[in-house]
Amino acid sequence: MNTEQLKQYFATHHPESYLLHGLPWLVFGHVSFSKTISHDKKAGPRVRRFAGLMVALAITCEVKARKLVFFQNNETKPEVDFNHVHFLLGPQSLEKFTAEEICRRLSEKATEFGFGQCAFLPYDPTKDGVGYITKRVFRTLNNGQRQEIPPDFFVSAALTQILKQKELV
């Protein structure tokens, strides 16, 4: 991307997207929760449930959870105060599985754990999955002004290690 394209891109996306674009991804997904959990003002129940999903995936794939490479965005849909998680999952430590197998395992565990609506898809590099996950989100205030909602990103320890190795952080 040239400088003008980057400026235009970051007008709608957070700078983290720049770091994530150059990495391989295996799965693009989002998880939702019941209304009670979604509207709980503490992020704890949602964050713990998503972390549990990642641990369950690691167990079923016989890898250590700390080896999973993922980027997580805990997002709020402001107009309905609906909280959900978008994420990207990397192929590192999951090399012996196809994206479809990982998606199936995630779906099974999300159902078992009683998650709300979820989607787990093989990552498609022709679509802007990184941009979707790092998009800037705004709420409209009572006076009609738009206010940006601060991002609530989480970078797994394994992803942080990869970014450091590539000298991106």
| Cβ atoms of 153 and 16 closer than 8 Å | yes
pTM of the predicted model as reported, rounded to 2 decimal places:
0.84
Least confident of 43-47, 112-116, 139-143: 43-47
Whether residue 27 is contained in a domain is answered as no
pLDDT category at 10 given cuts 50, 70, 90 is low
Position 5 scores a pLDDT of 64
- Tell me the angle at which helices 99-112 and 44-60 cross, rounded to the nearest 10 degrees: 130
Position 32 scores a pLDDT of 82
Looking at the DSSP bridge assignments, the partners of residue 89 are 27, 70
When pLDDT is averaged across residues 37-58 and rounded to a whole number, the result is 76
Whether residue 28 is contained in a domain is answered as no
Domain boundaries, position 51: 33-165
Q: How many CA atoms lie within 13 Å of 42's alpha carbon, on the beta-carbon side?
A: 4
Render pLDDT for 60-77 as a digit per residue (tens, 0 to 9).
Answer: 999 999 999 999 988 766
Position 128 scores a pLDDT of 82
Whether residue 157 is contained in a domain is answered as yes
Q: How many CA atoms lie within 13 Å of 30's alpha carbon, on the beta-carbon side?
A: 17
Whether residue 111 is contained in a domain is answered as yes
pLDDT category at 35 given cuts 50, 70, 90 is low
Whether residue 25 is contained in a domain is answered as no
CA 142 to chain centre: 30
Does the CA dihedral 119-47-59-67 come out positive or negative?
positive
Q: Quote the strand ranges of 70-136, DSSP E.
A: 70-77, 82-89, 118-122
When pLDDT is averaged across residues 82-90 and rounded to a whole number, the result is 86
Whether residue 131 is contained in a domain is answered as yes
Number of domains within the chain = 1
Amino acid (1-letter code) at residue 49 = R
Cα(64)–Cα(117) distance, rounded to whole angstroms? Answer: 27
Whether residue 10 is contained in a domain is answered as no
Q: How many CB atoms lie within 10 A of CB 83?
A: 20
Whether residue 5 is contained in a domain is answered as no
**Per-residue DSSP letter, 153:** E
